[in-house]
Chain A
Amino acid sequence: MEDSREITTLQAATILISTIIGVGILPLPLFAVRAGDTGAPLVTLLGIGIAAIGLFIITKLGMRHPQKTIIAYSEEILGKWWGKICSLIVIIFFAFLTGFASREFGAVVITAILGETPLEIVVIVMLLLAAVSVRNNINTFAYIHNFYVPIILAPALIIVVFSLQNGNMIYLQPLTGNNFNEMFSGTLMIASLFQGSFIMTLIIPAMKHPKKAMKASMWAILISGGLYLLIVVATVSVFGTEEIKQLFWPTLELARTTFLPGNILQRLDVVFLSVWVTAVFTTLFSSYYFTAFSIKQFFQLQDHKMLAYFILPFVFILAMLPLNIFQLYQFIENVGKVGLTITILYPLLLLIIDFMKGKRRRGKSGYKQP
């Protein structure tokens, strides 16, 4: 992989967008409203802000080490053993993320459309699909993401635009929420929906121009964050905060309530769900890819293809851990919050240490020169 640096800036941005937009889009308004009531858009905005800071740190770190992924340079920065331990935690975390995303996907599909299909089948089909795709190299990975982004973005935007027609702007006011503490924890929850952006650490070493990585990151967070914000605004204005609190997947309900004028489609959930399956696939694909690829680097193997199938049963078992849908969301919430330390605080720590080391190095060389 190190010899083929073919990913363009645009591709990097699209990978991030389609990775971020995933299964979390369905309960997103619920998380936001629970935390901030009518301040939901504000909570979302703050969440996006935190996610942007996280992505900024990751990208900055990656640009300082344009040849390596986080698994490699963490050893360099922290020393071999500490690096290894931290990398192991990151890998396990991403395995969890993959598992829970596939489980959440399964839960929605079983509840909303395929009532009689066993959950295991839905989950395993999705994971298999991801596993097969993961066997490709990173350039194919980039192409697949690039290809799906318009298909994900366009229908989502259409649904938002048409649903805003029966929105009631009064439901969005007052713009600030009530409880600061709850708002803060909700903000973290929203930020954790953006964790997929950690994949950037893996893309930078494959980019044609690693210097432009920051541009890709910021555009990606702007577009995906913008879509998230629009969805929150649309659902809150259509349903009002109190009704959203009663719904598991407000975004899905939004699609069910919205119709295209002229009786073309009386409910848009069919369109939405098919798009959403694609969005979930790209997200799973990324986190799965990250897990497999990082394990390869961790053990310094030649190839990650064999690993794709090897980790499948483990991810599947993780997916089957929650006993019911309520426990599932408890797990997702907890894993999401722990994840923030992994995807934001840990890179921040690395960046600070790296920065200090770099300064010392430069200081030393400066001392030697005269």
Chain B
Amino acid sequence: MGTNSRKVKLTFLFFLLVPLLTGCWDSREIEERAVVLAMGIDKAPNEEEEEGEIAHLKGKFPTPKEGMIKLSAQIAVPGRIPLGPQTGGGGNGEQKSVVVIHVVGHTIEDAMLNLQQEVADELFLGHLRIIVLSEEMAKNGTQRFNDYLKRNPQIRRTASFVVSKEKASKYMDASPELEPVPALYLAAMVENLVMLGKFPHSFIGLFWSILSSKGQDGYLPYLDIKEDGTIQISGLAYFRGDKMVGKTKPLEIGAYMAAIGEKTGGYGTFVEVPNTDEVVVVQPIKRRTKIKASLQNGKPHIFVKIYYESDIEEKENPDITVKTAEDIRRIEKETEKSVDQAVSELISKTQKTRSDIFGYGEHFRAKFPDYWNKNVREKENWEAIYENLSFDVKVKVNIRRAGMKAK
């Protein structure tokens, strides 16, 4: 009796387990996935023409007012993404590891649906590393893309988001030689530049947070392609609200990082040695920034104090003597002056376009809630106030070392 009921139970269990053999609903083999590694968004060249009637029939729905977009997707070819460093002869050097497909659409989702129509495998965005937006699109506003990207659970918030000088599709087709997968090279470039202190922290999630907060405007890396095909960061694209309004020079990124207090310094600068025509290169190593918001006679005022720890990297002319603490002191003074000037200029420059990329508004929201609630409340109001915000910059530079050379 006992063994009998045990047998019945076992048989029952066996049949219960059978459905498990079919696997999950969501199981997808990796080669059945079209892994999108990078995306480029441009303005569509000639409107409406290329689009098939996939997501909607023509003229059947109110067309979005913004023009159509051209989306270029870089899709990994299964099995051709090399894992780890390549060894041996370049036998498979000819095979491309990615394919690039261009589609058009009214919105990202529209374009993605069109794209899916052209690709056999299911599109997968979980490995999307970088989204390139052409300058033209950035100037028209990013808000229309954010909704799709935020809603989609596959998109990583740590993906990079960059603005490009040329058409974004060019970046999809570019094939840098340092890394077999172009998208990964682009993404690594942005990430590593942050680590080297060449650019402040930047990823799409951060951009969204800044865009949402009321006393701050966004910034993104601004890329361009040089003649020989290499890609470089050539500035910082700054925004007002969701629209790009300008860009800085590469060196001004350093000033920006100083003004918001990024820790790692990365931009070495020429500093004129007082009383001579010669220059030395001073490389910032560390910085610390104190930002103090205050109300002076009811008007907002910002006081920025920047501390630098720097090294001397190079001097241009053997005639310059950098030997004593006295010399160093003079160079420090000169550096202070030039950083002060650079930061002040950058702030004035962004004030003209009313884009508070430094987030000074957040300081007023945080420290003076009464003032904020009475006079500001909305982002637009802060931008208006920012335009005429008074500020003071004070820089203190300490040069600690001068490398291996004693003179």
* Chain A contact residues, CB within 8 Å of chain B: 38, 111-118, 121, 166, 168, 170-174, 176, 178, 238-243, 245-247, 253, 256-257, 259, 266-267
Contact = CB atoms under 8 A, between A and B. Distances in A.
B49 to A, nearest CB: 33
Name the prevailing secondary structure of the B interface residues. helix
Nearest to A112: B153
15 contacts: A111-B153, A114-B24, A114-B25, A117-B26, A166-B201, A170-B362, A171-B366, A173-B366, A174-B369, A239-B209, A240-B212, A245-B212, A257-B205, A266-B156, A267-B156
Closest 3 CB pairs of A and B: A173-B366, A242-B212, A243-B212
Nearest to B369: A174
Interface of B: 24-26, 150, 153, 156-158, 201, 205-206, 208-210, 212-214, 359, 362-363, 365-367, 369, 373
B239 to A, nearest CB: 15
B201 A240 contact: no
A51 to B, nearest CB: 28
A170 B157 contact: no
Contacts of A174: 365-367, 369
A247 B150 CA distance: 9
Contacts of A121: 25
A95 B325 CA distance: 77
Contacts of A257: 157-158, 205
B359 A170 contact: yes
Nearest to B363: A170
A115 B24 CA distance: 11
Contacts of B362: 168, 170-171, 240
Contacts of A118: 25
Contacts of A240: 209-210, 212-213, 362
B25 A246 contact: no
Contacts of A115: 26, 153
A247 B147 CA distance: 11
Nearest to B27: A116
B25 A259 contact: no
Contacts of B366: 38, 170-174
Given A253-B157, A267-B156, A243 B26 contact: no
B26 A242 contact: no
Contacts of A111: 153
Given A239-B209, A242-B213, A266-B158, 5 more contacts: A115-B26, A117-B24, A170-B359, A174-B369, A267-B156
Nearest to B291: A170
A173 B359 CA distance: 14
Contacts of B209: 238-240, 243
A121 B373 CA distance: 49
A166 B212 CA distance: 17
B6 to A, nearest CB: 19
B25 A243 contact: no
A257 B209 CA distance: 12
Nearest to B146: A246
| Residue in B26, B153, B214, B367 with the greatest tally of chain A CB atoms within 10 Å | B153
A241 B206 CA distance: 13
B208 A256 contact: no
Nearest to A114: B26
A53 B373 CA distance: 34
Nearest to A178: B373
A253 B208 CA distance: 12
B212 A116 contact: no
Contacts of B205: 253, 256-257
A168 B210 CA distance: 11
B208 to A, nearest CB: 6
